[in-house]
Chains A and B, each alone.
Chain A
Amino acid sequence: MTKKQQKLVRLTACAALLCGVVPAAGAMHIMEGFLPPAMCILWGVIALPFLLAGYFSLKKAVARDRRAVTLIAMAGAFIFVISSLKIPSVTGSCSHMTGTGLGAILFGPSAVSILGVIVLLFQAILLAHGGLTTLGANTFSMAVAGPFAAFGIYRLCLRCKVNKKVSVFLVAALGDLVTYCVTSIQLAVAYPSETGGVSGSVLEFLGVFAPTQLPLAVLEGVLTVMIMMALEAYAQPELRAVGFEEAGA
């Protein structure tokens, strides 16, 4: 192992520790009416600039090359599929994945926030899963924090010249975990525990969600690697159109 590789291993280990052991993770979406109104507004306001940036960045990608539309549709569809599947996990309860890692790699993190919010709206309105009042908070965790973390990990992997498949796996899996960690923190801020305050509450929520989510994060990583392999084998022109190859991937 080169020094850089060692550094990366250490970094990813720290990240894994942070996500998996110290604080665990949270419920996928915060349910309708489960956050105090002030917090709903606060998270909405925080998520808004990311959505705007996402809209502009999608517009720019399409203006640059119309073929980007195909990949945008596919990345969105991937989130649709992945987040509709409730998967059983080792804790005896079910949860689902986010699927935002793929889009973050292809178009950058802010563009994914638009794709993510479409899925969240669909689930909030039709499926009573998540909610309109908690849309801001859920958007922030699934469509902003997760993809941005994923993108950061991806750049790090690129710089350290990690094997492409391994980095796609890490990106998707860790991005998924980050989403759940952020959800836990959001819930904890709204419901600080009487004894431990906010941090005690974070631990409580992470305790519920982290063990459930860990195997699912691995699954999401594997699935993302598979779709990436298919795209690289058959969709080279489109990947070039969104500037994926230029990024040195």
Chain B
Amino acid sequence: MTKKDRALMVALLLLCVVLIVTPVLALRGAEFGGSDDAGSEKVAEITGEDYEPWATPVFEQLLGGELPGELESLLFCVQTGVGVGVIAFFLGRFVERKKQETARGTQKEQ
């Protein structure tokens, strides 16, 4: 990766942080609920009555109620963790491979 790319990478990372933090700071006290919930409220508004979903999620049926919030965040973390694990594993291999290839290249030259 060139120096320029590296600088760009850092700049982009910073931009990500700014994008995420700004709304939190700008809208103090906002609820930050899910937009899916806002969607269901909209459905209720348009149809004029509370919409009764005709099916409930499988897992909630098994549990006989809603999934506790902490467990939900655990499962979301599992999803993130699996993804990050796979990406980091392969990217790590790629980086090492490239390092070794370059090392071998310079050895040959000598």
Contact = CB atoms under 8 A, between A and B. Distances in A.
B53 A208 contact: no
A219 B18 CA distance: 10
Given A70-B90, A90-B26, A126-B75, A77 B82 contact: yes
Interface string B30-52: 11111111111011011110010
A128 B66 contact: yes
A201 B57 contact: no
A91 B31 CA distance: 10
Interface in B48-98: 48, 51, 53-60, 66-67, 72, 75-77, 79-80, 82-87, 90-91, 94-95, 97-98
Contacts of B12: 222, 225-226
A84 B57 contact: no
B17 to A, nearest CB: 10
Contacts of A219: 16, 19-20
Interface of B: 1, 5, 8-9, 12-13, 15-16, 19-20, 22-24, 26-27, 30-40, 42-43, 45-48, 51, 53-60, 66-67, 72, 75-77, 79-80, 82-87, 90-91, 94-95, 97-98
30 contacts: A27-B38, A27-B39, A27-B40, A37-B54, A70-B90, A74-B87, A78-B87, A81-B79, A89-B35, A93-B30, A93-B31, A94-B33, A94-B35, A127-B59, A127-B72, A127-B75, A133-B54, A133-B55, A187-B39, A191-B47, A204-B45, A205-B39, A209-B35, A209-B39, A215-B23, A218-B19, A226-B12, A230-B1, A233-B5, A235-B90
